[in-house]
A and B are shown apart, each in its own frame.
Chain A
Amino acid sequence: GAGVSQTPSNKVTEKGKYVELRCDPISGHTALYWYRQSLGQGPEFLIYFQGTGAADDSGLPNDRFFAVRPEGSVSTLKIQRTERGDSAVYLCASSLPDLAGGYNEQFFGPGTRLTVL
Chain B
Amino acid sequence: SQTIHQWPATLVQPVGSPLSLECTVEGTSNPNLYWYRQAAGRGLQLLFYSVGIGQISSEVPQNLSASRPQDRQFILSSKKLLLSDSGFYLCAFLWRYHGYTFGSGTRLTVV
Q: Do A and B come from one complex?
A: no
Give me the interface of A with B, judged by CB distance under 8 Å. Answer: none
Give me the interface of B with A, judged by CB distance under 8 Å. Answer: none
